[in-house]
Chains A and B, each alone.
Chain A
Amino acid sequence: MKERGEAEDFVTPGEVLGKTSELKPGNGAYVSPQDNTVYASLAGIRSLTPPPPESADLRPTVEVKGHKAHGPVPEPGAIVLARVTKVMAKMASADIVCVGPKSVREKFTGIIRQQDVRATEIDKVEMHSSFRPGDIVKALVLSLGDARAYYLSTAKNELGVVSAESAAGETMVPISWTEMQCPSTGQIEQRKVAKVGA
């Protein structure tokens, strides 16, 4: 009995899940514009989520959970972790290594421009006092950017450097939103520090 239930809940790409008047497509489902039908786009198990009680839309959301999701692609609004690779006068280059909780299998390139480092005193931002090559940065994807890289922003309290190494090679401890200290030498270095635990 359970096996039959499992077989019935398993869907492959192209299978009909329902009509748009009855279902909302979630992850792994899409709507065909020609006939207003919801189809599966992944191979996996179908699941229904009831609508939130306060929502005016009474349609449940249908999702398909595959056993393996493809590597994530950065999209505007996503929080990413990136490793700074190059710091210039007006921007810093970084390799995106995580999108949300998922790591990307291969790197995507992003840049943090001078005007996106912090929300205050934008004209006085010094890139070399905010990031160094090798720092791990938590950032927000602003847009798909130009032809070369995604645009990232750290202009929020919870965004910025989350891990950095000092000149002595040790992981530094944040002591304020602009400073980090080396635990062995006591040297203080300037960074745009992310606020943790917020």
Chain B
Amino acid sequence: MEYVNPEGLRLDGRRPMEMRQLRAEIGVISKADGSAVFEMGNTKVIAAVYGPREVQNRSQQLNDQALVRCEYSMANFSTGDRMRKPKGDRRSTEISLVIRQTMEACILTHLMPRSQIDIFVQVLQADGGTRSACINAATLALADAGIPMRDLVTSCSSGFLNGTPLLDLNYLEDSAGGADVTVGILPKLDKVTLLQMDAKLQMDTFENVMQLAIEGCKAVASYIREILLENTKQLESRRGI
């Protein structure tokens, strides 16, 4: 199968370094302290943040900082095949831990000792790059909740197919058996908080693919900043400032 044709177009018509369309909305759940919906192409994710609130399980309480918990789930209808998954399956647990560690690195937890911040992320529609979309949605929800953060964490994936680095893989490209690199960065501080890869890549090719993903993360960060600015303007106009 040919994923990049000789004219340099992908299966969905994108160039190799082009991202899918991004869309985001803040404040979609009124009961949550912060919430957001994030779309990357056909991947749609909703995130809700509760807290800081009292730690529910006392044995896990941390005396000098906040406890960050994350729960990731996929809706049954989100994939091509409708399947009933148990709650604690291996992939959900792994992605929950990945999101939790990424968010823990950027939240200023020492400002809220002995409290708990819960992040719930659910995939409504999956088309590749779900964990990147989850991290972006969680970042937006945390910013909406007013949780102090070092920086906005943004995430993007990239791959390598037909001898070409590709940005922001969709489902078909992800299933093609090539390498899939997921990167999460703090764009202003220029630090990497998440790096995952499957399949094999040569080291010099990996550098190129990772650099491409980092460029994608910075593009996502610019978009997220625009969303936050637009949201603030709307709130100010409603308040009549």
Residues of A within 8 A of B (CB): 6-7, 10, 12-16, 28, 30, 32, 39, 41-45, 66-71, 73, 75, 104-109, 144, 147-148
* Cα A68 to Cα B236 with chains together (Å): 12
Chain B residues, CB < 8 A from A69? 146
CA distance A6 to B188 in the complex (A): 21
A-side contacts of B113, CB under 8 Å: 73, 75, 144
Inter-chain contact B232/A10, CB cutoff 8 Å: yes
Cβ-defined contact, B149 with A14, below 8 A:
yes
B164 touches A (CB below 8 Å): no
In the assembled complex, how far is the CB of residue B53 from the closest CB belonging to chain A, in whole angstroms?
A: 4
Q: Determine whether the beta carbon of B52 is less than 8 Å from that of A147.
A: no
> Given the complex of chains A and B, what is the CA–CA distance between A148 and B186 in angstroms?
35
Contact of A147 among B61, B115, B236 (CB under 8 A): B61
Residue from A14, A15, A28, A144 whose CB has the most chain B CB atoms within 10 Å:
A14
B33 at the A/B interface (Cβ < 8 Å)?
A: yes
Given contacts A14-B189, A73-B111, A147-B63, 12 further A-B contacts (CB under 8 A): A13-B151, A14-B150, A41-B150, A43-B146, A44-B232, A68-B145, A70-B51, A71-B52, A71-B53, A73-B52, A144-B63, A144-B114
Q: Is the CB of B149 within 8 A of A6?
A: no
Q: How far is the CB of A21 from chain B (nearest CB, A)?
A: 20
Q: Mark B38-70, 1 if CB is under 8 A from A, else 0.
A: 000000000000011110001001010000000
Report the tally of A-B residue pairs with Cβ distances under 8 A. 98
A117 to B164: give the CA distance in the assembly, Å.
72
Q: Give the Cβ gap from A148 to chain B, nearest Cβ, in Å.
A: 7
Contact with A along B108-119 (1 / 0, CB 8 A): 100111110000
> Is A148 a contact partner of B188 (Cβ separation < 8 A)?
no
B187 at the interface (CB under 8 A from A): yes
Interface size on B, residues (CB 8 A): 39
Interface membership of B88, Cβ < 8 A: no
Cβ of A1 to closest chain B Cβ, rounded Å: 15
> Which 8 pairs show the lowest CB-CB distances between chains A and B?
A14-B151, A14-B188, A41-B148, A13-B149, A106-B53, A70-B146, A43-B143, A43-B228
Mark B residues whose CB is within 8 Å of A. 33-34, 51-54, 58, 61, 63, 106, 108, 111-115, 143-152, 186-189, 224-225, 228-229, 231-233, 235-236
Give CA–CA (A197, B216) in the complex, Å.
58
Point out which of A6, A39, A43 has the most chain B C-beta atoms below 10 A from its C-beta: A43
User: Among the listed A41, A104, A144, which residue makes an inter-chain contact with B149, where contact means beta carbons less than 8 Å apart?
Assistant: A41
Whether the Cβ atoms of B152 and A10 lie closer than 8 Å is: no
Chain B hits for A147, CB < 8 A: 58, 61, 63
Q: List residues of chain A with CB within 8 A of the CB of B111.
A: 73
Contacts A43-B228, A73-B113; A30 near B58 (Cβ below 8 A): no
| CB neighbours of A108 from chain B (8 A) | 54, 115
Q: Which residues of A contact B52 (CB under 8 A)?
A: 70-71, 73
Bound Cα distance A136, B111 (Å):
27
Cα distance A43–B115 in the bound complex, in angstroms:
21
Q: In the complex, what residues of A have CB within 8 A of residue B150's CB? A: 13-14, 30, 32, 39, 41
